[in-house]
């Protein structure tokens, strides 16, 4: 229970209650938005060459390979904490599955359709504000301890632990080799890339009279 939810039988509204909730929402939204904006775009840094092509240097690839496991783990942990602490019907096993699935879907969409990845990823801060901060839907300490106990005893298979990283590296590889190196050079628009020099025009169909 948050401080502004204490003394729920009282009808008095004080300035500290309003200010405390406002500041909490601002801080929580700032942290959450930074996280979900980072998750909705490809993470490989590209450099434009003299001939107008875009390439990933060896240093950029190494930086991506080192940083992305930490980012995936941080995003997953943040979402998992919301699911475990929020008052919902998910147990520890279901929370682990949902958190992994949301991260995988958001990262794949980030390389295919950033708009849809944005819509999916922004559900995290919305859930944080509406479920936890405003409605106060938080599990009791006893329920949280029970959920964490289930979490520590969860039997997560090796493939289940690796699938999130495999999907990330697979989507990034297809985005770079198929999207950046092949499609973009042929005028197709690719997520995370500027408009190609000779963009293809979308064909329009006309209805027959």
Give the burial string for 35-64 (b: 16+ CB within 10 Å, else e).
Answer: bbeebbebbbebeeeeeeebebeeeeeeeb
User: Tens of pLDDT along 117-149?
Assistant: 878 877 766 776 676 666 666 777 888 888 888
What is the percent of the chain with per-residue pLDDT over 70, rounded to a whole number?
A: 84
Q: Residue 206 — pLDDT band, cuts 50, 70, 90? A: very low
Look at the alpha carbons of 101, 102, 104, 109 in this order and tell me if their dihedral is positive or negative. positive
Residue-wise pLDDT for 36-88, tens only, equals 778 888 999 999 888 888 999 999 999 999 999 999 998 888 888 888 877 77
């Amino acid at each position: 229970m948050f401080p502004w939810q204490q003394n729920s039988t009282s009808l008095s509204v004080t300035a500290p209650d309003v200010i405390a909730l406002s500041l909490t929402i601002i801080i929580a939204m700032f942290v959450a938005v930074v996280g979900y904006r980072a998750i909705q775009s490809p993470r490989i840094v590209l450099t434009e060459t003299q001939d107008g092509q875009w390439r990933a240097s060896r240093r950029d690839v190494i930086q991506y390979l080192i940083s992305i496991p930490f980012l995936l783990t941080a995003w997953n942990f943040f979402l998992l904490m919301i699911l475990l602490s929020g008052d919902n019907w998910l147990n520890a096993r279901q929370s682990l599955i949902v958190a992994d699935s949301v991260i995988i879907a958001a990262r794949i969409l980030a390389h295919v359709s950033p708009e849809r990845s944005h819509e999916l990823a922004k559900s995290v801060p919305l859930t944080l504000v509406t479920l936890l901060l405003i409605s106060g839907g938080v599990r009791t300490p006893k329920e949280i301890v029970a959920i964490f106990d289930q979490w520590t005893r969860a039997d997560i298979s090796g493939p289940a632990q690796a699938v999130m990283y495999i999907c990330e590296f697979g989507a990034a590889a297809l985005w770079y080799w198929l999207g950046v190196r092949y499609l973009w050079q042929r005028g197709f628009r690719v997520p995370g890339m500027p408009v190609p020099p000779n963009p293809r025009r979308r064909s329009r169909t006309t209805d027959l009279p």
